[in-house]
Amino acid sequence: MCLIREGIKPIILEQEAFPRFHIGESMTGEAGQLLRRLGLEKLMLKKQHPVKHGVKVFGTGGVNSWFVPVSARDADWRLSAGTTWQVRRSEFDVMMLKEAEKRGATLLRGTATKALRANDGAVRGVTVRWPDGKSEDIEGEVVLDCSGMATFLANQRVTGPKYVGSYDKQIAFFAHVTGAVRNDGASGEKAKDNTLIFYQKKFHWAWFIPIDKEVVSLGLVLPRANFLETKQTPEEFFRTTILEINPNLRRRLADMKLVEKVHVIPNYSYQVRRFCGKGFICIGDAHRFIDPIFSFGLSATMREAEFAAPLVRKYLEGEGRDKSNPFAEHQVFCEKGIDNLEDMVDLFWEQPFVFATFLYHRYRDELIDAFAGRVYETERQPSPAIQKCRKLLKRTRDYDHEDDYSMPIGSRFHPERAALWEPNSPISTTEEWMVAQSTGKLADQSF
Ligand SMILES: Cc1cc2nc3c(=O)[nH]c(=O)nc-3n(C[C@H](O)[C@H](O)[C@H](O)COP(=O)(O)OP(=O)(O)OC[C@H]3O[C@@H](n4cnc5c(N)ncnc54)[C@H](O)[C@@H]3O)c2cc1C
């Protein structure tokens, strides 16, 4: 839709038949704003996606908590309270796809299997495998890799290498449930459809995201070793452990009923180097993913798409064709944005009390901005808050060397463990992980 706004009619190649289950259900303020810019607010309200006013994070005992409101900035950078949405992705993604088609995109159902390269290395299209098994080449002047965790162009080695980052030893379990007790307010801190986060201890947490009037998405994230040592099935583990993570969550789940199977995916972070180049841009999870704790995935993905669209138009008009990387500036712009997020999230894990103090006293507005997804340099970032996070993490960010900035240096990153991810490793995508867990192979795999 962002491309169509620029006068470009794209082909969308999607391998799955929609609707399909997907994770990523809570939006930031800026994700909501982008939907509004695309003229989708009416449709979002008509579909009755729950309205989110903020996120509340409960501490270990379930009594203390802090709240971050969804917010917006006006043209004069004045901060105001805002709202965004929670979505059931199967429905939301269908809505987005249909709307894109209605506006002029062509949807093709098939799997990209190979990147086609021109003599100068530019990506000039993809080979597609159609559902009937036949293959065909589709030529295009620009390929936007939006393949999510499948990281298509990284697999094809079109990009630079993919590094595993700091959160590579975690695992997430999630399901949809009814009977969970929500807040009881209409707006603000007590709004019934807010995101709730339950912190237990470092790297152990749960989410609670209402996705319609009855159903809540519940997720549990912790180190993978905790699960493997129990020898339980994912469902057994989820049912027992979700009740132990925080007393406040336990109270809300006395009448919980599962209405969706328990899904499992590795909650790992990674980063693809050189994710833009001649004829291609990787967007969203296709090049980078950090910890999902504060719901930044959709926001980063959709905003990168919006940033990329005018650049694609200019490229199609002939700009930057002689450069080795016509999208180099976009690349560093996006990296800087996610670096800001990463430094904030890492400080939360490393020094949660300091983080809460920053949020309530010293840097309230700046952190409210970051939580809303305003993390790019055009949005006054890195703010003093992010710079302080960086300082406390004893971290510097250097963007002077084209190939050397923004290394994956999360709080648990150790250079010796930063093994280059291997495209041929037995489990490299979410889908493969799901197959492995459903066939009982999960316990044998070291991811
Ligand atoms: C545990 C967990 C919790 C999360 N919670 C949140 C949250 O609350 N809020 C939030 O904003 N984000 C959350 N996220 C992140 C969010 O899920 C992602 O960031 C977001 O969905 C990424 O969007 P995307 O478009 O990059 O990729 P995706 O949404 O994964 O879309 C990629 C698409 O590409 C298709 N595809 C892949 N390979 C090919 C191919 N070769 N050919 C054709 N099609 C292909 C796939 O079928 C898929 O439809 C969470 C992530 C995790 C792991």
| pLDDT tens-digit readout, 115-143 | 999 999 999 999 999 999 999 999 999 99
pLDDT in tens, 316-349: 999 999 999 999 999 999 999 999 999 999 999 9
What is the C-alpha separation between 208 and 196, in angstroms, rounded? 5
The answer to whether the CB of 206 falls within 8 A of the CB of 242 is: yes
Pair (295, 380) in one structural domain: yes
Tell me, yes or no, whether 209 lies in a domain. Answer: yes
Beta bridge pairs of residue 204? 201
- Ligand 1: distance of its center to the CA of 257 in Å? 26
pLDDT at 100 > cutoff 50 = yes
CA distance 106 to 104: 7
pLDDT at residue 267 is higher than 70: no
* The pLDDT value given to residue 199: 96
Is any ligand 1 atom within 6 A of the Cβ of residue 24?
yes
CATH of the domain at 156: 3.50.50.60
Give 130's Cβ-side CA count (13 Å radius): 8
pTM for this structure?
Answer: 0.93
State the chain's mean pLDDT as an integer: 90
199: three-class secondary structure by DSSP: strand
Mean pLDDT of 414-418: 46
Query: Residues 279, 386: one domain?
Result: yes
Domain boundary among 234, 267, 300: 267
State whether residue 347 is helix, strand or coil: helix
193/47 same-domain check: yes
Q: Is residue 98 part of a domain?
A: no
With a 6 A CB cut-off, is 170 part of the ligand 1 pocket?
no
Residue 442 lies in a domain: no
Residue 235 in any domain: the answer is yes
216 lines ligand 1 (CB under 6 A): no
DSSP one-letter string for 378-437: GGT-S-HHHHHHHHHTT-----SSTTTSS----TT--GGG-PBPPTTSS--SHHHHHHHH
Q: Which residue range forms the structural domain that includes residue 47?
A: 29-91+169-267
Q: Is the CB of 297 under 6 A from ligand 1?
A: yes
Q: What is the pLDDT of residue 164?
A: 76
Q: Give CA–CA dist 41/68, Å, rounded.
A: 22
* Domain stops at, among 267, 297, 313: 267
Q: What is the mean pLDDT of residues 7-29?
A: 97
The answer, yes or no, to whether residue 81 has pLDDT greater than 70, is yes
What domain count does the chain have?
2
CB distance 69 to 81 below 8 Å: yes
CB contact set of 131 (below 8 Å; sequence gap of 6+): 109, 110
For a ligand 1 pocket test, name from 85, 96, 208, 285 the mutation site with the most ligand atoms within 8 angstroms of its C-beta: 285
pLDDT of 437 reads 45
Minimum-distance ligand 1 atom for the alpha carbon of 113: 41
Segment 148-154 mean pLDDT? 94
For ligand 1, atom 15, the nearest C-alpha belongs to 297
Burial of 145 (0-12, 13-18, 19+ CB in 10 A): buried
Q: Which of 379, 367, 383 is nearest to 54 (CA)?
A: 367
> Side-chain half-sphere of 434: how many Cα atoms within 13 Å?
12
Residue of 49, 111, 238, 298 to mutate, ligand 1, most atoms within 8 A of C-beta: 298
In a domain, 290, yes or no: yes
239 and 340 in a common domain: no
Judge whether 100 lies within some domain. Answer: no
